[in-house]
């Protein structure tokens, strides 16, 4: 009896598949017979089906990837090409270019869908001319406008945020560095900028890193000077000392300038007697470095006139060397900024070395923590208060604020992406999604 005859005899099993019926009969009546032999006896064979292999990338995948690339790529390209070098209103020209580029990219994506046949897969029907115009006016143009205008809108919105964050970073770092009030505002601002941009925390590690950076900068300057020294180049001593003569203009306004003039002339004569009319550039560089080291390490031990004269000679050497080797200009400027900043950072680190661990603010925070969280709350609040006042923490926090401030004016492309998402949010989902 084959499987078909079994079905005719037992119609109540029609809801079972052939294999289910054969297996049930085998288990009930022929459990000792080999199943493959039983299958052969009743004329049943298992049909092996090979599963259909899906392609790694489908046309639908290509379409879904290509559309945003074409639309956003067209918007970006349109924004670049639409702004001539002498544009009167570059912002408006860019917005128009972005909008037109987006529309061009959208039409290119539609053409790709039609070519791949994915417009049929996605359930799109070819619109009539009237429907096409209506869709262009009510859907495509508003989408282009959103993409075009969202970039500049977000960019303008981030400007005040960036300024506020930058101001907060500068204020926090300045309050921790504590440049003396007697220092001119321009020099104070430059020191704060050097510390923030260099990311020098007000700690011993920050000071050590600053010293390494100064040494590295001096090494670069030394390499230029060393190369020049091999050619026998020199600088004129009298040209350097002309900066000392400029000091006389200042001391001429004192009640008795003669002692100052005599001392300045003596310094000039001593330098001429010792070094002669010309100084090799390598030697001049070493004199300048020695002056900086003396002024930094023995600032409180020297007279004001001596300090100012040393500064004038060092400035004269620096300016004469830059005149001969212009590439030293940028290096010397960075070196000077770091050396000047080193003075303030060193003072701040020495001051915080004697940092008062406990004060009234700590007590207040500890009390508040005790009220809210008992012993553990008091300990946590007190520790948090001390950490928040610690100069190393405050300076590092200022670095985070400064880094965050860089978002100012950077939101154009993020705005376009956000605008694209908004423009596409009203699209109908694809079938099966």
DSSP letter for each residue of 394-421: HHHHHHHHHHHHTTTT--HHHHHHHHHH
Ranking 198-202, 280-284, 307-311, 423-427 by mean pLDDT, the lowest is 423-427
Instruction: State residue 11's pLDDT score.
Output: 72
Nearest alpha carbon to residue 339 among 169, 213, 181: 213
| pLDDT tens-digit series, residues 334-387 | 888 898 898 889 888 887 654 444 444 444 444 544 445 554 444 444 444 444
| pLDDT tens-digit series, residues 120-170 | 545 556 678 888 888 888 888 888 888 888 777 766 767 777 788 888 889
Residue 136's Cβ-side half-sphere holds a number of Cα atoms within 13 Å equal to: 12
Instruction: State residue 387's pLDDT score.
Output: 46
Model confidence at 402: pLDDT above 50: yes
Distance between CA atoms of residues 138 and 141, nearest Å? 7
Instruction: State residue 112's pLDDT score.
Output: 87
> Rounded mean pLDDT of 399-407?
81
Nearest alpha carbon to residue 291 among 305, 307, 271, 274: 307
* pTM of this prediction exceeds 0.75: no
The percent of residues above 70 in pLDDT, for the chain, comes to 78
Instruction: State residue 199's pLDDT score.
Output: 92
Question: What residues pair up with 278 in beta bridges, in sequence order?
Answer: 236
Distance between CA atoms of residues 113 and 61, nearest Å? 11
Distance between CA atoms of residues 283 and 15, nearest Å? 106
Instruction: State residue 58's pLDDT score.
Output: 77
Residues contacting 372, CB < 8 A, separation 6+ = 381
User: Between 113 and 301, whose confidence is greater?
Assistant: 113
Instruction: State residue 208's pLDDT score.
Output: 92
Question: What does 47-72 look like in DSSP terms, one character per residue?
Answer: ---PPPPPPSS-HHHHHHHHHHHHHH
Instruction: State residue 383's pLDDT score.
Output: 43
> Rounded mean pLDDT of 291-309?
74
Instruction: State residue 235's pLDDT score.
Output: 92
Ranking 81-95, 124-138, 168-182, 273-287 by mean pLDDT, the lowest is 81-95
Nearest alpha carbon to residue 292 among 329, 337, 331: 337
Distance between CA atoms of residues 152 and 154, nearest Å? 6
Residues in the chain: 433
Longest dimension (CA), the chain: 138
Residue the block writes with tokens 């294999």: 19
3-state secondary structure of 322: helix
CB 22 within 8 A of CB 3: yes
Using 50, 70 and 90 to split pLDDT, how confident is the model at 53? low
DSSP-derived secondary structure letter, 432: T
Where would I find the H helices in 181-280?
185-198, 204-229, 237-251, 258-275
Instruction: State residue 62's pLDDT score.
Output: 85
Q: 410-413: list long-range contacts, CB under 8 Å, 24+ apart.
A: 410/155, 410/158, 411/151, 411/154, 411/155, 411/157, 411/158, 412/151, 412/152, 412/154, 412/155, 413/76, 413/151
Q: In the predicted model, what is the mean pLDDT of the chain?
A: 79
> Rounded mean pLDDT of 402-410?
71
The percent of residues above 90 in pLDDT, for the chain, comes to 17
Nearest alpha carbon to residue 199 among 350, 400, 407: 400
């Amino acid at each position: 009896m084959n499987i078909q005859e079994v079905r005719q005899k037992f119609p109540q099993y029609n809801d079972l598949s052939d294999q289910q019926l054969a297996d049930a009969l085998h288990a009930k009546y022929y459990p000792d017979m080999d199943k493959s032999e039983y299958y052969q006896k009743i004329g049943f064979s298992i049909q092996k089906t090979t599963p259909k292999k899906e392609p790694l990338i489908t046309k639908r995948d290509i379409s879904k990837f290509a559309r945003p690339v074409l639309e956003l790529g067209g918007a970006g390209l349109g924004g670049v090409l639409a702004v001539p070098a002498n544009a009167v209103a570059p912002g408006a020209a860019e917005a128009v270019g972005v909008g037109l580029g987006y529309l061009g990219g959208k039409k290119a994506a539609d053409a790709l869908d039609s070519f791949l046949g994915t417009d049929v897969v996605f359930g799109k029907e070819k619109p009539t001319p009237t429907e096409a115009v209506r869709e262009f006016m009510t859907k495509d143009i508003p989408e282009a406008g959103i993409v075009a205008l969202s970039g500049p809108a977000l960019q303008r919105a981030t400007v005040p945020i960036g300024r506020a964050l930058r101001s907060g970073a500068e204020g926090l770092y300045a309050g921790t560095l504590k440049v003396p009030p007697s220092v001119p505002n321009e020099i104070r601002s430059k020191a704060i900028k050097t510390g923030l941009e260099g990311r020098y925390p007000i700690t011993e590690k920050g000071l050590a890193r600053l010293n390494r950076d100064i040494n590295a900068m001096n090494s670069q300057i030394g390499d230029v000077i060393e190369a020049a020294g091999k050619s026998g180049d020199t600088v004129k001593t009298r040209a350097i000392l002309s900066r000392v003569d400029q000091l006389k203009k200042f001391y001429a306004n004192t009640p008795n300038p003669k002692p100052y003039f005599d001392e300045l002339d003596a310094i000039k004569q001593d330098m001429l007697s010792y070094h002669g009319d010309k100084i090799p550039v390598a030697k001049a560089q070493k004199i300048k470095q020695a002056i900086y080291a003396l002024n930094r390490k023995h600032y409180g031990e020297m007279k004001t006139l001596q300090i100012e004269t040393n500064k004038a000679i060092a400035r004269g050497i620096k300016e004469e060397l830059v005149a001969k080797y212009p590439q030293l200009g940028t290096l010397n400027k960075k070196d000077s900024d770091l050396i000047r900043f080193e003075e303030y950072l060193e003072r701040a680190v020495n001051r915080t070395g004697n940092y008062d661990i406990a004060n009234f603010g700590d007590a207040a925070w500890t009390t508040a923590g005790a009220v809210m969280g008992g012993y553990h709350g008091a300990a946590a609040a007190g520790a948090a208060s001390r950490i928040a006042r610690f100069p190393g923490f405050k300076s590092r926090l200022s670095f985070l604020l400064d880094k965050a401030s860089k978002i100012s004016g950077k939101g154009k492309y993020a705005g376009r992406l956000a605008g694209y998402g908004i423009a596409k949010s009203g699209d109908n989902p694809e079938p099966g999604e």
